[in-house]
Amino acid sequence: MDLEREKMIVKSLFNKKYQQRILFELASTNKRLKVTCRLNYPYEVIRNQYLIQIPPPNSYYLDILDLLKEYGANDSCYAISNKSKIDGKHLTLTEGLEHAVGHGLPSLISCIPDRLAYLECEQEYGPPDRFIIYREK
């Protein structure tokens, strides 16, 4: 886990009233999954002005990669995910998206720590909600 990177992500993209609780949960291996469960309700925890819903069809990770590149993403990312294989890891953006998109588990893939991320909510019924989180400079 990269707690400094996570702190930067939370402080810049999450609603202020949730920030301290989310940072506490991210720092605890026992409570970490609570954060990704909270991501299923992005309008509550993420600053709404940064959320851009990706319209369907949107389930191919390479299409999402291209979309993130249009927003300025580079080739690396950091993942906060219910998927243990990628959670708390620095990855290539392609690898992070390949493991996050379409697997039914909530994941936040941070491309630029204080400005750009991809969010996939949990799949409940039908396709999951997918978002670009973008904060202009």
- Across the chain, what does the average pLDDT equal? 92
Q: What digits encode the pLDDT tens for the residues 82-97?
A: 999 999 999 999 999 9
Domain span including residue 108: 3-134
> Residue 109's pLDDT band (boundaries 50, 70, 90)?
very high
The answer for residues whose C-beta is within 8 angstroms of residue 5's C-beta and 6 or more apart is 78, 110, 113
Q: Average pLDDT, stretch 41-68? A: 90
- What one-letter code names the amino acid at 56? P
pTM: 0.92
- Split into its structural domains, the chain has a count of 1
CB 38 within 8 A of CB 18: yes
Q: Average pLDDT, stretch 54-60? A: 83
Which residues in 35-68 are b (16+ Cβ under 10 Å) and which e?
Answer: bbebbbebeebbeeebbeebeeebeebeebbebb
Alpha-carbon distance 75 to 121, whole Å? Answer: 22
Alpha-carbon distance 59 to 31, whole Å? Answer: 29
Query: Which residue's entry shows tokens 């002005």?
Result: 49
Phi, psi of 109 (to 5 degrees): -110, 110
Which residues in 76-97 are b (16+ Cβ under 10 Å) and which e?
Answer: ebbbbbbbeebbbbebebebbb
Distance of CA 136 to the CA centre of its chain: 17
